[in-house]
Structure 1
Amino acid sequence: MFTIGEFARLGRVSVRMLRHYDVLGLLRPARVDRFTGYRYYEAEQLPRLNRLIALKDLGLSLRQVGEVLEEKVGPEHLHGMLRLRRAQLEAQVADDMARLARVEARLRLIETEGAMPADVVIKSVPAVRLAELSATADGFESDKIGSVIQPLYKDLCERVEAAGLVFTGPAIAYYEPVAEGVRVHAGVQVNLEKGRTYDFEVVDLPAVEQAATVIHQGNMDHVDVSYQHLARWIEDSGHRGSGVAREVYLQYGEGDPATWITEIQEAVTRAV
């Protein structure tokens, strides 16, 4: 037999909790000394303690734990319950991390308020032909765009490689608001052959006579800052933006993300 302290150590719980479980009738000692009141436990009680703790971690109240224990839940059933709870907790953690990322992104935007907009260059942009795949995202939030555009580019690059084509310039993405959310277009410049059909779209982006452009450095998690700086510059300089921007990935996806370079381009006209 084990003293309550020894049993607490074996079960990785506190002595106080064992006393509490005793009072509630969830885990009675195997023997209580009638003179000293000392509690003693047996090794065969460890499985019940393990189940008790596992059910408690599932989010059940101690009353519910007692009811389940009395039903003598088997290991397989308990494993299933724990796996389900683990999946729920993992999903909750993922949601919390995404929410934290959004909060941090907003904090960065707030911290840059009042700062001088980033260097913006007005230039012409030539027409370009792209191999393209597209899909719809729920919104413009970075995580929603990222969850759509990343699989698109992976799929597109695999199709380009299967077609025996080679890249001839940087990848270009652009976005269009639609009723369902945002239409995400993932494009790459490749040596397309005339008269040949492909399992992706071939899209011609028109030339832009005047585009306000800004360089964004780093991954796209922080691109909102660059977009808002560009919008402020367009307004402050007396221009009107088209509302549709292109992202040209000049150096992206390899090496240190801090060194990645994306040019954001938005067609502009002089405000009347």
Structure 2
Amino acid sequence: MLKIGDFSKLSRISIRMLRHYDEIGLLVPKSTDSFTSYRYYSEEQLYIANRITELKNMGFSLATIGEILKNYDNPMALAEYLSVKRAEVKAESEEVNRRLLLLDTAIERLRKDDKAMNYNVTIKTLQERYVASIRQIIPSYEQEGILWEMMMRETAGLNMQVADPSYGMAIFHDEGYKESDVDVEIQMSVKGSYENTDHVVFKVVPAVEFASAIFKGSYEQLTSVHRAVAKWIRDNGYEFNGAMFCIYHVSPAETQNPNELVTEVCYPVRKK
């Protein structure tokens, strides 16, 4: 039999931790002196102690280790635990690598341009939602208000309820920039169910992953914001995956002061 100090040295587990293992029933001493409360371990328990350390080093929690030890001599059960943990660690590793890439590209952008972080780009997912939508060819991008006025007019009698969160957005379906006759769709997230009108279509739109940057102020910044988002997409291993859109957090319908506008420029993306 080994005293706790000797067992600690041989197992390379601290006395404090051995006492904790005893308290939670993970590694209980072979015997405890009822008079002195000294703990004694058998040499065979060194094997269990080594298993615990090995599993801890793999990232298992003590609670999970306790479950594993019950089935440690069952190779199939053990393999299942290890496979699940491997998948978890792999996912964590991919997340760490993604963060490292974000840091590296941000550092590189700042080295090349000290104003590169004026527009912070992030990856987001817009969940599936029910929207009121109008898609039309309009004379120019600056005349998007035509569509919003049409939507308000045709839905005025529907008692339409805006969803929470509310997403008012414009999607630009043309492949590139056009001087005129632009293909624009506006969407407003709503709740409930409604019949289509002459121009308004109510539909469910799927979830979308996108890279975006939010800016405050006039639309004169749009070119710089587009450039920042597109460069971020290129530098971080993504590619474009759909029509670009803008989310209007504070729109011209809510303020006449261009300095108060809040707009999010969004590009659907996917990993290369």
Q: TM-score, normalised by structure 2?
A: 0.49
Q: TM-score, normalised by structure 1?
A: 0.49
